[in-house]
Every structure is written in C-alpha cells, then in structure tokens.
A and B are shown apart, each in its own frame.
Chain A
Amino acid sequence: MASLQGLLSILRKLKSTPDQEVRILLLGLDNGGKTTLLKQLASEDISHITPTQGFNIKSVQSQGFKLNVWDIGGQRKIRPYWRNYFENTDVLIYVIDSADRKRFEETGQELAELLDEEKLNGVPVLIFANKQDLLTAAPASEIAEGLNLHTIRDRVWQIQSCSALTGEGIQEGMNWVCKSVNAKKK
C-alpha cells in the first residue's frame, strides 16, 4: 500500500506543471447571453437558463490555461456591483445582444464606462457580438462602428460575432483571449 502511494506521488510530480490560471470577467447588459456563453464554454446544458441574480463562476480548461470565468448579472440594479470584481482581471469579455438595437446606446455607454475604469487599465477586451443566429442581428462591423471601437488606443481589443446558442464563433473568440493572455505575460 505504501509503495502504491509512493508511485502515485511520483506520477503526480511527473504530470506537467499546473495550468496557468486566468481570470476572465464576463459583463454586458441583461439578456445579452452571458450565462449561455458561460455554459457553452463549460459544455453544459443551455436549455434551462434563468436570469442571473448575483453571479456565476466556472472554471474551464483551454490551451494549457485554467480559465476562471466570472459571469456577473447584467440588470441595471446590480451593475454597481460590477466594480467589486475588477481586481486582477486578465481579460474582459463584453457581450452584446446584436439584435437589440434599441439598447445599443445603453450598452455602448456601459462599455465606455468600463474602459475608463482604473482597475481595468490596459486589460484586453473581447467584444462578443452575440445572437448572430437571429435574422435581425446587426453585423459585428456595424456594432464596432456604432461603439467607436477604433478609438480604443490604450489596450488590445477584438470584436467577434458569435451565437452562444449554436456555439458558432465562440472558439475563435476564446483563441483570441488565450493569445492575448500569452502576449501580456511575456
């Protein structure tokens, strides 16, 4: 028995170094699709999702990273709590409902405020133009223009069209996330 335990501990040491942990903050207005995205990342069932009261957190392994993804509720009432989660964020993912044109202005304002936050200084930002499965969805290029993304100079950013429902575009976005973390750590 003792020798078996010894063998196990050797095997454990031989195992490659533990994955590097990355803190990802998932923000955006309510009904943008943050929780659906989170569940897709964790390969969980997405058919019973309810509005997020508070926050959800999940850890996902990807490309040698351990991604700790924080999904914070988006309703106006709890947006003041967003700032409690800024510290040590490696990448910010901002999710937009591309079909909810009425709220483009509101979502743009929230994003602009986030980019002004001192604690998020220089943090890479990925914008997911979500719900591209809907016919009425605005294309990513239109959203980028509407939000004046080209004026962002103090950090790397990327806009990626996706559908959290079908999973399309998510991998591409997450590849960018891992790439930008690698670039930052070097």
Chain B
Amino acid sequence: MLGYIWQYVYSSFLRYWLKWVVRQVSGKCELQRICAGFQPGSTRTSKTEYSLQFSKNKVLRGSLQTSRDSLEQCVDHIVQAKNVKPQKDPLFRKSLHTCLLQITGYAGLYTCVEDLRKETFSSDNMEHEDMLLKLWKLLMPTVKLESRVTKQWGDIGFQGDDPKTDFRGMGMLGLTNLVFFSEHYTEEARQVLSHANHPQLGYSYAIVGINLTEMAYSLLKSGDLKPHFYNTVTGNPELLHFHHLYCYLAYEFDKFWVASKPQSIMEFNHYREKFHSQVKISLQEPGVALTLTVSSEH
C-alpha cells in the first residue's frame, strides 16, 4: 500500500520536480542525459522509452507511435520541443533516432508476428503445402515421404497423420519457425530431433516446437523481449530476428530437457514452466542477448 502511494507521488509530482532541478543544474534535458550517459543497447533504449512514455509533452509521448517513414521528422520535433542545440550536443539526434527506431520497431515486429500467427495453415494454399514438405525434406533428407497424409509425420513429432491440425493457435508462425530452424541451423535441428526421438527421454519435436513458438510469441506480446531486441538489433527488429529467437528457444529447451532427465513426456509442462522462468530471469539482465551460439563440436 505504502509502495503504491509512493509510486503515485513519485510519478505524478516528485519525478517532474527532480527532473526540473537536474535540468537547471546540468543544462541538459532527461533525454539528453540518457542518450549521452549510456552505451547503445537495452538500458539506454528502455530509459528513453520510459522517459517518453511518461513525458508531459504530447510530441514526446506521441513519438512512441510514430511510423517508420515519419521517424526522422518526429526526432526533429523532439529536438525542437526540448530546445536541444545540435552544436552543443551533436550526438543526441542520432542516438535518439536509434532508440526510437528500436522502440517503434518492436511494436512493428509484434504486428508482423501477429499477422503471421493469424494466417491459418490451409491445404489449399500451395505455399503452405510446399513449406510443410520442405520441413520434411530438411529434417529427413534420406527418407521419402510416402504420401501427403501418412503416419510418417509422427517421426518428426506431429500428432497424427496430417500435420494441418497441429498448428492451431500459432498458425503459419509455428510452421515458419520450424522451417527456419531446420534451414538455418540444419545440423542443430537434426540433433534436437534425434534427442526428441529418444525412446525414454523423447518428446514430440514438431508440437513442442509449436509450443515454443507460443512461448516466444507471449514473451514478445508482454514486452519481455524488449531488452533482447534492444541489445541485439541496432535498427528495427524484423521477422527474421524473431525466427532467430525461436531457434535459440528450441535449441536451449532441448538442452534443458535432456539435462533434466524427466521421467516421461507427461512432465513436459512442468519443465516447460521451469525453462520459461529461466528465460524470463535472463531477460531481466541488462546485457541479455538470447542468441543461439553454435558449438564447434560438429
């Protein structure tokens, strides 16, 4: 209760007074101090985002919803509104631009991801069908698929003899992630598949992959992934970066699962939650970068 009152008092009054005092003393506005005081990355961009979000100035608050095309203009407006002299602080404009590109890019990425998720897999769509067959070929290069509807799909971890019903709430986002992992990290994907097909420690490769897509999606939606993207992508993040994050989760979850030595597949959700918490904890670290680093074992 006291915490709430303090937070209210702080964010509605104290923060502004403090900022005003520091501004008078240092001659720089909060945004300038952030941009000059921190290295590019999650801390700088997150602080900028917070500052803009709680600004009393409409221009500053509105900048968070700026489209990519009007970003340059928006930065100019902020520089003007805050009365920053380029001669005195030559780096400010560029730093702020980078931060805003990351902040608005994150929202843009969510829109792209959501669109792909909402696209349901359809057997009438040749592109969808081709992707599905491509997934098979990438994972099982030596085995021929006997027909489109076959029990063989179980070998790469789909539930029944037609994968189309397994994408469900993740739609084409699930399939695209699966294909991306197999295509860009073919060795790793096959290694994970071989673990998944282990008689005792195994799990269903494809549907666990779809489940991990859901994990990545939820982390993106809740904003938990902001530090990761602010640290790893200097421009605005794109779908490709999201797919890479999925690869990290797929590879790391497999490692975690194997190391945990679960009794059976029925313990999946228990270990999934444990893994999920671990990921969330690492996302609290300012320097977080969830990138899949390929070992030199092969």
Contacts and interface: CB of A to CB of B under 8 A. Distances in A.
A54 B160 CA distance: 15
Interface in B230-267: 264-267
Contacts of B165: 30-31
A53 B160 contact: no
A1 B90 CA distance: 60
Interface in A28-62: 30-31, 46-51, 53-56
A75 B166 CA distance: 11
B160 A76 contact: yes
Nearest to A56: B269
A84 interface: yes
Secondary structure dominating the interface of A? loop
Contacts of A31: 159-160, 165-166
B7 to A, nearest CB: 25
Contacts of A30: 159-160, 165
A50 B264 CA distance: 20
Contacts of A74: 159
Interface stretch (B17-25, B40-48, B52-60, B200-208): B200-208
Contacts of A81: 264-266
B169 interface: yes
A112 interface: no
Nearest to A100: B165
B207 A50 contact: yes
B168 interface: yes
Contacts of B210: 50-51
Contacts of B122: none
A75 B159 contact: yes
A54 B170 contact: no
Contact of B268 (A48, A53, A76, A77): A53
B207 A53 contact: yes
Interface stretch (B62-70, B73-81, B185-193, B211-219): B211-219
Given A30-B159, A31-B160, A51-B166, A75 B266 contact: no
B170 A50 contact: yes
A51 B159 contact: yes
A78 interface: yes
Contact of B218 (A46, A48, A53): A48
B108 interface: no
A174 B169 CA distance: 25
A1 to B, nearest CB: 15
Contacts of B166: 31, 51
B204 A53 contact: yes
Interface in B247-296: 264-270, 272
Contact of A54 (B168, B214, B269): B269
Contact of B168 (A50, A53, A56, A76): A50
Given A30-B159, A31-B159, A51 B168 contact: yes
Contacts of A49: 168-169
A48 B216 CA distance: 12
A40 to B, nearest CB: 14
Q: Which of A74, A77, A84 has the most CB of B within 10 A?
A: A77
Contacts of B266: 54-55, 78, 81, 84
Nearest to A30: B159
Contacts of B214: 48, 50
Given A30-B160, A77-B204, A50 B268 contact: no
A48 B268 CA distance: 18
Interface in A74-133: 74-78, 81, 84
A31 B272 CA distance: 21
Nearest to B269: A54
B203 A53 contact: yes
A30 B218 CA distance: 23
Contacts of A50: 168-170, 174, 207, 210-211, 213-214
Contact of A48 (B159, B170, B267, B269): B170
B154 A51 contact: no
22 contacts: A30-B165, A47-B169, A49-B168, A49-B169, A50-B169, A50-B174, A50-B207, A51-B166, A51-B168, A51-B207, A51-B210, A53-B203, A53-B204, A53-B211, A53-B268, A54-B269, A55-B266, A75-B160, A75-B207, A76-B160, A78-B265, A78-B266
Interface of A: 30-31, 46-51, 53-56, 74-78, 81, 84
Closest 5 pairs (CB-CB, A-B)? A54-B268, A75-B159, A48-B169, A51-B207, A31-B165
